[in-house]
Amino acid sequence: MPQHLSILLKQYLNIGLAGCVGIVLSAVAANHVHRWEIAEDKERFEQQSTVLEGRLQQQVDSYMQLTRSVGAFYNTNQDISLQDFQELTRSLLPHHDGLLGLGLIEKVTLADRPAYEQELQSYGFSHAEIREFNPIGELVTAPDRPIYFSTTYIEPFTSFQDKIGFDSGSIPQRLVTLKRAERLGVIVSTALVELENGQPGIIYYYPIFTSNHTEKESTDIDEEKQKARSSQLGTDEAFHGAIFSMYELQTWIEISLLDLNLSGIDFYLYRLPQDQLDSALSKTSVAATEYFLIAYDADTQTLTQLPEQANLNNIDPNQGQPESQCGYDRPWLSCIRSINIARQELSLLIVPSENRAVPRAQSVGVLLIGLLSTSFFVMYVLLAKRNTMKIKAQNMALKQLLEKLQQTQTQLVQREKMSSLGELVAGIAHEFNNPLGFITVNLEYISKYSDSLINLLNLYLTHYPEPHPEIQKNIEAIELDFILKDISKILTSMEIGGERLRQIVLSLRNFSRLDEAALKAVDIHEGIDNTIMILSHRLKASHNHAEFKIVKKYGDLPLIQCYPGQINQVFMNILANAIDVLEEKSEKLSPENSGQDIQSFEEESIFCPQIEVSTLMIDENWISIQISDNGMGIPEDIQDRLFNPFFTTKPVGKGTGLGLSISYKIVDETHGGRLSFQSEPMQGTQFMIKLPISKKVLHD
């Protein structure tokens, strides 16, 4: 056989090397293409982010530009009538989608209030008095105070006519913003506030003055310089009020997202500057819900202003997330964009969605083409070589085919044996039981007959102490005295062996449970004892380990309704694994492997492998079985994979990795119980099996 392998190796070495090189090159090429796909997807993500940022900024800029234009027009045409203002706003508002309202606020002193309210009444408005909201949300007449900021007109009038005369100065956030607009002389915006329709949104205020006062430059002048300029305006210029526009937060986002390709990206809007949001996301002292405004989910294509629906755990540093979920191994800052809204900055956090898939078609195509090309090349060379092979090579191929068929046949037989293991064990036990019955039954008669013959011989020797010389010679040759003494011992040993065989047969029959494939009330202790009996040959002392100590602590359990054959299989898998672990620990602690000399090793405590099986009744519906060992324990890094199919830490050929997986399914899925474990390194492992007592508990 080694010679044939050497011949095959020489014949196919070059082909194998060529195939391996082709596979490696295909994999390398596919990897490079996939890196290019990732870079392309990253660039596409950047383009999507830039377009999204630009669209959002463009939309708010259009709202701000409309407000600024109307305000500048009002400042330069202070003799404009209210009717002209109505016509102007009505003509402009329909051309700005998403803008909730556009109107005029006038500053009214307490002394001017009667004249102002009389003027509102002259316009024919149904509400001709300055009002404010009371604590329960009703519009009531505003009390006396030095200054009011009353809504003189608002468009669309039909929707908000009840807000004519509403004092915006009665709301602290709006009052602060109006004061800021008066102080700076530039267009400003509120933070997120409740609008006239009850929805959250943002309001722009463009200050208007009684003389030809234009908006001051705001791009390169800070607030201190603005204050200085305001003090130099002169006493003839007074703050008259403001042109205001308002838009809902969600409507602004929805209008901006129209016709945008947002597949694979989520975004979150925060009322924080860009650098502060980057700092907040990198620290656990700030939760992701703080300063949150709105979020977009690409998977559901929905917007939400509720933090609990925005899936903020993905970006919350308090939830144990990595330092950055920005995607493409980048820091948070590279995913944060700024949205400038009239002297305040919002931050737009854009991240790849959870289901964003990097295109793999090209890399997979390259890999498949490479593998197919390699396969075709290898097949061509193999076919060419087979055509030149001699009879010996053909015989070798036939021999290999025969071996393959034999292996397949063996596998089929093994599958059949596994599927009918219970029937096979029960049959063997039955067939073994018949001759065993003959032996055990006849041993009693043999014992009686031997006693009779011995008595007869003793009687003969008593009456004929000097037998014939030939008989005496034969007595000495067969050592009659020894036979008479030893025959009873032999018969006793045979009886003990027969009883041992009977117990083994009984354990095999009970373990197989061929006639108990359905649910049946059984004694759990009997199943455990039978399993230990079958494994008893592995519990004896050997050159690698001392004799295993089995400790049984059985509680008072009732009969349990279960599938006996399957439960016995669980006991077998767990006990066999415990024995494997104890053998491994014994071998590691042996003097040959520990590096100690035998004398010093013997002076120390010798490791005694022990398995403890305990049972108890948890309550009237459940029982518990604990199987513990004092082995090596299970490493923490593999504990969460212990019940996975085909997972094993044993050497190749010694374990399949299916024992605990099958046991878990039997206990948890078939019986509705619970299989769990606890383990301490170098201290041991305890498996806990929790089972319902009856089928009724399982259904409940």
Q: What is the pLDDT of residues 574-626, one digit of tens each?
A: 998 899 888 888 888 876 665 555 444 444 457 889 999 999 999 999 999 99
Asked if residue 530 lies in contact with residue 510, where contact means CB atoms within 8 angstroms, the answer is: yes
Strand 622-629 versus strand 560-562 pairing type? unpaired
**Does the pLDDT of residue 572 top 90, yes or no?**
no
Report the C-alpha gap between 471 and 565 in whole angstroms: 61
**Does the pLDDT of residue 424 top 80, yes or no?**
no
Contacts of 165 (CB under 8 A, 6+ apart): 117, 120, 125, 127, 128, 129, 130, 131, 150, 151
CA 676 centroid distance within chain: 19
pTM of the predicted structure, to 2 decimals: 0.49
The rounded mean pLDDT for the chain is: 80
Least confident of 48-62, 112-126, 209-223, 243-257: 209-223
In the numeric block, the tokens 């295109």 are attached to: 359
pLDDT of residue 649: 77
The total of other beta-carbon atoms located within 10 Å of residue 581's CB is 22
Asked if residue 139 lies in contact with residue 133, where contact means CB atoms within 8 angstroms, the answer is: yes
The total of other beta-carbon atoms located within 10 Å of residue 234's CB is 9
Phi, psi for residue 502 in degrees, rounded to 5: -65, -40
Report the C-alpha gap between 145 and 135 in whole angstroms: 18
Contacts of 62 (CB under 8 A, 6+ apart): 96
pLDDT of residue 305: 87
* DSSP run (H or E) holding 451: helix 421-463
pLDDT of residue 415: 39
**Does the pLDDT of residue 239 top 60, yes or no?**
yes
pLDDT of residue 632: 87
Of 669, 699, 692, residue with least CA distance to 560:
692
Identity at 568, one-letter amino acid code: N
Model pLDDT for residues 376-423, shown as the tens digit of each residue: 877 877 787 777 766 776 777 787 787 667 545 543 443 344 445 555
pLDDT of residue 214: 47
Of 662, 666, 627, residue with least CA distance to 648:
662
pLDDT of residue 428: 65
User: What residues pair up with 209 in beta bridges, in sequence order?
Assistant: 239
Least confident of 54-58, 212-216, 470-474: 212-216
The pLDDT confidence band at residue 687, using thresholds 50, 70 and 90, is very high
Q: What share of the chain in percent tops pLDDT 90?
A: 21
Mean pLDDT of 347-365: 82
Report the C-alpha gap between 314 and 10 in whole angstroms: 57
**Does the pLDDT of residue 85 top 90, yes or no?**
no
Tokens of 270: 């925060």
Strand 610-617 versus strand 549-553 pairing type? parallel
Q: At what angle do helices 223-231 and 172-184 cross, to 10 degrees?
A: 70
pLDDT of residue 143: 93
Strand, helix or coil at 138?
coil
Model pLDDT for residues 294-320, shown as the tens digit of each residue: 999 888 888 988 887 777 766 655 555
Asked if residue 551 lies in contact with residue 508, where contact means CB atoms within 8 angstroms, the answer is: no
Strand 239-248 versus strand 265-270 pairing type? unpaired
Where would I find the beta strands (DSSP E) of 549-621?
A: 549-553, 560-562, 610-617
Of 513, 567, 506, residue with least CA distance to 534:
506
Tokens of 224: 């201190």
The conformational region for residue 359 under phi > 0 = left, psi -120 to 50 = alpha, else beta, is: beta
Contacts of 629 (CB under 8 A, 6+ apart): 578, 581, 582, 609, 610, 611, 612, 684, 685, 686
